[in-house]
Structure 1
Amino acid sequence: MKQYKLDFNSPIGIIEIVGSDTEVYSIMFSEHDQIVNVPQKDTPQVIIDCQQQLHEYFIGKRHEFTFSYTFEGTSFQKEVWTALTSVAYGETATYKKIAASIGNEQAVRAVGSANGKNHLSIVIPCHRIIGSNGTLTGYAGGMWRKEWLLQHEKWNSKGIKK
């Protein structure tokens, strides 16, 4: 299976989109300071759609994503990642709430670990998960990005009609 890459220059850094002909499987912040992966003649539509939807998200016009994606992980990780998608745009939840939502209140640390292994940044909104005391906790893309994303969503959730 051929792998395709495309970079998106977001307000908080370059995001590398990786996928196949039919689905996206990674959206991660890159350490590149310039665009490396540009659209090619054979770049699949799903990758282009992902880039366009991320653009719409960053300009405040999109709250949900509709392109095809997949995630690979253990059944527990997949359960956590699915639960993350229930946290609404502009809202936050705690690790404990996610653990309870999957029927395992004692799995708070395991939820945190699964959260950190999410490869679909923004789309699977791990940035919306905070500590039980309301503080921001780890984010693979950097805490400053997590704070930016939460503020962006909070601000845009007030004036956007679906």
Structure 2
Amino acid sequence: MASRSTRPSVSFGLDRVTTPIGVALLVTDAEGALRALDWEDYEHRMRELLRLHYGAVDLSDRSAPMAMRIALSGYFDGDLSQLSAIAWRIAGTPFQQKVWNALAHIPAGTTMSYGALAAKIDLPNAIRAVGHANGSNPISVVLPCHRLIGADGSLVKYGGGLERKRWLLRHEGVQI
């Protein structure tokens, strides 16, 4: 009988940072890279995404790197370019990673439809799959899933709630 191999648990640090739209949860690895950013009122969802991507995860209270905290603060203070200063790593399927990496290239102040993103990654018929991957994005704000909108320009789905999505887009100068 073959033995089942189990992945050892992964240890990450958890920090809480107050922002204009609520308390952000920052999950970082031992090297200081961001592994998850979600909202305190969606902590259960964040923990489930971490479990799906990494297996067993141990979170312990640990301050995120000061440079990350400064960059995030700078973004919320209006310097939208600060998000690019945040080091991040993601785990997920190759397709999810393709979608998430494409999100990082949507400029602040712009939006894109799910269909346009699917076309951009050369999978024009994968609109629903792009939406699903976007919904599984573990690094909210930094990987700007809030910049994806419906084909008709409507705000659709955001893991942190539509009010946060609306705030983030307005903060970035998008007229909605």
TM bucket (normalised to shorter chain) is: 0.7 to 0.9
Aligned CA RMSD, in angstroms, stands at 1.9
Paired with 1:101 and 1:145, the residues of 2 have a C-alpha distance of 26
Q: Does 1:133 align with 2:143?
A: no
Paired with 1:103 and 1:52, the residues of 2 have a C-alpha distance of 36
For 1:154, what is the secondary structure of its paired residue?
Answer: coil
Deviation at 1:67, TM superposition (A): 2.6
Deviation at 1:44, TM superposition (A): 5.7
Q: Does 1:91 align with 2:110?
A: yes
- Report the residue type matching 1:98 in the other structure: L
TM-score relative to the length of structure 2: 0.78
Q: Show the counterpart of 2:7.
A: none
For 1:112, what is the secondary structure of its paired residue?
Answer: helix
TM-score relative to the length of structure 1: 0.84
1:113-132 deviation per Cα after TM superposition (whole angstroms, max 9, x unaligned):
00000011110000000000
Task: Look at both structures and tell me which one has the larger radius of gyration over its CA atoms.
Answer: 2
Paired with 2:70 and 2:134, the residues of 1 have a C-alpha distance of 25
1:54-97 deviation per Cα after TM superposition (whole angstroms, max 9, x unaligned):
11000002323223210111000000011111111000000001
Is this contact kept in 1: 2:149–2:156, CA < 8 A? Answer: yes
Q: Show the counterpart of 2:39.
A: 29
Choose between structure 1 and 2: higher helix proportion: 2
Gapped regions of structure 2 (runs ≥ 5)? 1-9, 43-60
Is this contact kept in 2: 1:53–1:62, CA < 8 A? Answer: no
Alignment of 1:11-160 (within 5 A): 11-22=20-31, 23-31=33-41, 43=63, 45=65, 48-63=66-81, 64-154=83-173
Paired with 1:29 and 1:52, the residues of 2 have a C-alpha distance of 18
1:93-117 deviation per Cα after TM superposition (whole angstroms, max 9, x unaligned):
0000100011110000000000000
Gapped regions of structure 1 (runs ≥ 5)? 33-38, 156-162
- Report the residue type matching 2:69 in the other structure: Q
Identity fraction in percent: 35
Is this contact kept in 1: 2:15–2:64, CA < 8 A? Answer: no
